[in-house]
Amino acid sequence: MPSVIDRSPVQIAVSSGGASPVLARLLRARLETMIPASYGKLADFVASFRDKVKQRFSFDERRRFWESVLQGPIAEMLLSGHTQAATKALEDLIGQKKALGQKYGEVYLVGGGPGDPDLLTFRALRLMQQADVVLYDRLVSPGVLDLVRREAERIYVGKEPTHHPVPQGEINQLLIRLAKEGKRVLRLKGGDPFLFGRGGEEIETLMDEGITFQVVPGITAAVGTSAYAGIPLTHRDYAQSCIFVTGHLKDDSMDLNWEALAQPHQTLVIYMGLRGLPVISRELIQHGMPPDKPAALVQKATTSDQRVLVGTLETLPGIVEAADIKLSSIIIIGDVVSLHEKLAWFTVVK
């Protein structure tokens, strides 16, 4: 019996002729990851327009027409749930023959995850493979960036705490310009676009300009870090809530609700808090958090360069300073950190 990939009305069968059913099953599993479940919806969409296209174009023109549709942004609109936009774009394309070569620019706002390429979603990988140009951040790992289509133009727009070579406003305008040129633009971010990634600001600008876009969530740094460090963010015996905050320094201070952050039975996860760690430690202790509260800093989580430094709220700043830690780190404070030694499963092999 063949292994079947069911994307009704599309059906794909893989058979080894009885030579190796296990191999056929493995090939089917590989194909399942490459063919989105919504391809059946795409087939039904195409079928609904076949008569209109047949009346409008000759046989050779129909072939070129459907190749343009199925390999271009219109198909992507449908696969990403923009059914009305895809329908209008296809009707426009049918309405005038000169539109056969027309392009519809689009922006893909994709979360690249915490670093390990294996943690990308299927949709993220598919869009990375079809983009014409990619705008990527500093926190996108080299392994993830290597999976972008090799012919795609690469534009670095990363930021550091005190150095923003490409301001956010310029990034927004660059996305607009490239999309209006008809390009498929990949906005690739570390972690998740909507968690301290300024993704909301970017799609707000795109909506104002009427540019089609889609958002692909990614495993955010906090979730990836906690999992690979063996530090659960919540645990029935230690923490019933979790708070995410940014630790940006402004004039050597932070405008945070310290009393809320210092409450017991919760886990505190701090993004971009490396430079401000001494301030964070001091303020939390002053607002009632015990100095011996377990705390950890994880650098380059989920990658072969991962480092986990464990101490207490009082001692962690000194531990980090002595270790000469640079960027790409997450700070976790709470009783769950005490589970690290027992639950750490990810071993870095050098």
Active-site positions read: 137, 159
Strand, helix or coil at 121? coil
What is the rounded distance in angstroms from the CA atom of residue 74 to the CA atom of residue 87? Answer: 8
- Taking residue 106's Cβ as centre, other Cβ atoms within 10 Å add up to 27
Show the beta-strand stretches assigned E in 26-82: none
Which helix (H) or strand (E) element contains residue 295? strand 294-299
Phi, psi of 214 (to 5 degrees): -145, 155
Return d(Cα 124, Cα 179) in angstroms, integer. 18
Contact 130, 210 (CB under 8 A): no
State yes or no: cis peptide before 9, omega within 30 of 0: yes
**How many alpha carbons fall within 13 Å on the CB side of residue 80?**
24
